[in-house]
Structure 1
Amino acid sequence: MSGNRWDVAGVPHKGWACIDVVDLRGDGARADETSYETCQMCGNEKIRFVHVMAHADVDEPYRVGCVCAEKMSGDYQGPRRREGRLRNRATRRSRWLDRRWRVSAKGNLFLNVEGHNLGVYKTKAGRWGYRIGNRFGQRTYAALNEAKLALFDDFWAMTQDDDGLWAAG
């Protein structure tokens, strides 16, 4: 259902909890390639950051924009903070490939990021892999940039709560 549910009888306005936030452009797609969603609460038709909201009296979660998430949860800082973190991630991911990668003595590319040694390497089979410290990624990739982006995604997942590392700026 689209449209404005703020005026629909029986739809709770308060008491919602955010269970997830999704960046529809999280994979690095361009704006003109993004399939935006419509806010299920107010009907706004171009939502990029989708806040998934749950309520005890509603069977299915609602997928809404930031402003509706604030009103529904009564939290006027959390939704903006979570969305800001995803914006920060998207910006950093878009610049990841352009970073100045160094070359190790073995000829592998690496970065040192706030005490973390990150590397990409070519396998014996001619594919690309990555490592974070001494932990190696589970998959290999056909292209170097695929491995670099997989490294970013894994490193982000591992360290996303480290505000010192990922502070906006």
Structure 2
Amino acid sequence: MSGNRWDQPGVPHKGWHCVDVVDLRADGESADETDYATCQICGNEKIRYVHIMEHPDLDENFDVGCVCAEKMSGDYEGPKRREAKLRNRAARRTRWLQRKWRVSGKGNSFLNLGGYNLVVYPTKTGRWGYKIGDRFGPRTYPTNNEAKLALFDDFWAATHDDDRLWASD
């Protein structure tokens, strides 16, 4: 569904609520490989960050860009803030492998961040796992770097709302 729906009868202009925001660029994907979306309100064809909007009078949700999300919700700060959080996550994940990882006495790579001990270690089967504090990751990975990126994803999911932790990164 595309095209300009601002003038379409039955499509409310106000009273919308943001359900979620999704980054369409997969981790590690280049801009050329990204499958962008089209805003279902204004028809803009190159949206990377999709704001999923719902309205109490409609059964369907609309996938829209930041500007339309602002207009639809009447919130001119929230959509930008949610989109910025996704941009920050992508940038931090890109830099994650370049961080200064230390090596423990056992030979494991680790970081200490905001009171969290993050460890990547080789398993007995020749694969790689990770720990966040005392909690082990649910899977193992073929390479050290894949385990580090999985650790980032898990750690971000658990701590992304902690501004104290992520403010200086």
Number of the residue aligned with 2:29: 29
Number of the residue aligned with 1:104: 104
- Structure 2: gaps of 5 or more residues: none
Is 2:30 the partner of 1:68? no
- Structure 1: gaps of 5 or more residues: none
Quote the offset at 1:166 in angstroms: 1.9
Q: 1:26 to 1:115 in 2, by over 3 A?
A: farther
Quote the offset at 1:140 in angstroms: 0.6
CA contact (8 A) 2:3 2:43 kept: yes
Tell me the SS of whatever aligns to 1:99: coil
Q: What letter matches 1:34 in structure 2?
A: T
Quote the offset at 1:143 in angstroms: 1.4
Matched positions, count? 169
Number of the residue aligned with 2:159: 159
Quote the offset at 1:167 in angstroms: 2.7
Quote the offset at 1:65 in angstroms: 0.4
Task: Show CA shifts across 1:116-144 (max 9, x none).
Answer: 11010010011110010111101111111
TM-score by length of 2: 0.97
What does residue range 18-167 of structure 1 map to in structure 2 within 5 Å? 18-167=18-167
Tell me the SS of whatever aligns to 2:6: helix
CA contact (8 A) 1:26 1:90 kept: no
CA contact (8 A) 1:88 1:168 kept: no
TM-score by length of 1: 0.97
Provide the rounded CA distance (Å) in 1 between the counterparts of 2:155 and 2:67: 30
For the aligned residue pairs, the C-alpha RMSD in angstroms reads: 1.1
Quote the offset at 1:26 in angstroms: 4.5
Tell me the SS of whatever aligns to 1:6: coil
Once superposed, which parts of structure 1, at least 4 consecutive aligned residues long, lie more than 3 Å away?
none
Quote the offset at 1:145 in angstroms: 1.2
Among all aligned residue pairs of Structure 1 and Structure 2, give the percentage whose two residues are the same amino acid: 73
